Structures are given as structure tokens and as C-alpha cells.
Amino acid sequence: MKAQPLSPAPGAAAGLLRRLLQRRSGPVRKPRVLALVTWAYIAWSIVPVLIAIQFSFNAGRSVSVWQGFSLTRWYWGDPVNSVWHDPALQHALIQSLKLAGLDMLVATPIGVLLALGLARWRGYGARPANFLMLFPLVTPEIVMGVSLYLVFQYVFTFIHPSTAAQVLGQVTFSISYVVVVVRGRLFSIGRDYEEAAADLGATPWETLRLVLFPLLLPAVLASLMIVFAISIDDFVITQWLSCGAGCDTIPIKIYSATRAAPLPSINALAAIMVYCSLAAVVLAFVCYKLLTRSESSADSTQAAISSVGAFDL
């Protein structure tokens, strides 16, 4: 039902004008300007990255002037400066993947258990613990970086800046993301299945193992994926706990390269990171869809996207 204007029209021309205006402003109009803004934004957010990836295929040594196409030069073709042949770049790639793997292995189990605990633990200590979990999500990374740097220097002096320190730091802020993802899933599955299992005679352990954990599996997968992505993306904490060249990760290499004269091999290195992340996202998305296909609702795709994107913060 369209809104009808209350005042009578002063004339036919005005009436026509009003009808035209009304058509333009009716509830079903096509908001062309908004659509344009949206697509322009999307293009602006993605095209620069595509251009940076394009330069990883540059045949010349510039990262800002296109000098022809070379598929392999900066990945492995160049015998000195390519990612494959430059030991520093190769090491950064390995270090990044190593940290991401360790972070996934440590943060995900701790986070899943913490999410279960926080969602269901009633009584003394539950509220402060919930509160504590939110802090790493909102604390600026530099504050966490400085804190961890100082704590390893003055309190836990047996931990030196090293790969181990970097893992400890990354896990500390990864746990909260896992909690957010897993807790969202916990709320959406509810407690009916577990109560049914208990009514049918399952012991608590069987309920956990045969009902709750399988139902949580999609969220666990999404968490693994998210931890991988935030670990590989992390710059601040990794830099503050770095032991020097041996601990450099891809983001740290990009950071130091941009302050000197960068070669396209840095673009290649960054592009490899993008390929890895995208492959991991696609994998996680497909797994999520497969695992939840029996509970498909109208917007299950959007639920999967939001779960993989972890944005119900």
C-alpha cells in the first residue's frame, strides 16, 4: 500500500509531477545511486590488490610500471631474487606457515573448550571469565605487543623472543575469535539434541562425543580457518616478539621491503599468501556447506559466509 498524499493537487501538471516523483520514490524503486556506490566501493576495495598481484607477474624489476608478462620470474624463475631462490623470502614463507599451523593446533582446542565452558558455566567466576575473553578482541594490538614484549623480558624471563614467543602471543589473541565462532554455533544448535540423547540413555561422555562434538564440527572447521587467516595476517605481535631475521614472517618482510626499494618478488610473496588464504577459505566454505547440508535453510549460504567470515562479533 503506497502512501497517499493528503493535500489535493493544485493542477494537472503538478499532479503529473507528483506522480513522477512518487514513482521515483516509491518503495519498489531501483536505487541506482546506491547500487553505483556499492559496486564502486567493491571495485575500489579489490582492484588495488589485483594490481599488486599483477605486478608479481611483471617481467621487469619495477612494482609500479608494467614491463611485460612473466609468469614465473618472481616466483621461481629469477635465480637470485625470486621467492624460491631468495633464502630470506623463502624462510619468511616457511615461518609464516609454521606459525599459522602451530597457532591453529594450540588455539583451536583451547578456544573450543573455553567457548563451551563460558556458554554453560553458571556461578561464581563465569561473568569475569566472559569479560576477560572479550578483552583481546578490543585491545589495540600494540598494547598487547608491548605487554608481551615486557612480560617475556621481565617476568617469564625463560621465554626469549623466538618462534615459541610468537606462537604464545598469536594464540593469546586467537582464542577469543575461536570462542566467538564456536559460541555462535552453540547458541544456534540449542540444547534439544543433547537432552534427547540424555533421555535416550546416553551418558554425559557419550552425549559430548556422539552429539555435541559432531554438531560443533562445522564451527571447529571455521575456527581453524579463521585462526590460520589471522595468524598469517598478523604483523604487530609477531614483530614485537620477533628474534630478528630468523623470525621474519611474510608481513614483516613486506613491511621492511616497502621501506627500501621493493622488487616484484615481494608482490609474489604477498600474492602467495593471498592464494593460500583464498584456498583455505574456499575449502572451509565447502566443508561447512557439506557438514551442515542436512540443516539447510533459506539463507544457509549466508550463514556459512558469516561463519567463515566470523563477523557476528
Q: How many residues bind other proteins (CB under 8 A)?
A: 104
Query: Which residues in 266-305 contact other proteins (CB under 8 A)?
Result: 266-267, 270-271, 273-274, 277-278, 281, 301-302, 305
Closest approach, Cβ 181 to other proteins, in A, equals 13
Q: Positive or negative, the Cα torsion across 197, 203, 209, 210?
A: negative
Q: Which of residues 159-188 bind other proteins (CB under 8 A)?
A: 168-169, 171-172, 175, 179, 187
Residue 149 interacts with other proteins (CB under 8 A)?
yes
Phi, psi (rounded to 5 degrees) for 58: -70, 140
CA torsion 281-282-283-287 (nearest 10°) is 100
For the segment 69-88, give every residue that binds other proteins (CB under 8 A).
Answer: none
Within residues 184-213, the interface with other proteins by CB under 8 A covers 187, 194-195, 198, 204, 207-208
**Minimum separation from the CB atom of position 12 to other proteins (A):** 22
SS3 per-residue string spanning 4-48: CCCCCCCCHHHHHHHHHHHHHHCCCCCCHHHHHHHHHHHHHHHHH
Bridge partners of residue 58, in order along the sequence: 69
Q: How far apart are CA 132 and CA 204, in angstroms?
A: 28
Q: Which of 239, 242, 137 is nearest to 179 (CA)?
A: 137
Cβ proximity of 281 and 232 under 8 Å: no
Of 11-19, 70-78, 83-91, 106-114, the window that binds other proteins (rule: CB under 8 A) is 106-114
Q: Which of 80, 87, 131, 293 binds other proteins (CB under 8 A)?
A: 131
Among 93, 220, 221, 232, the residue binding other proteins under the rule CB under 8 A is 232
Q: Binding residue for other proteins (CB under 8 A) from 89, 100, 102, 148? A: 148
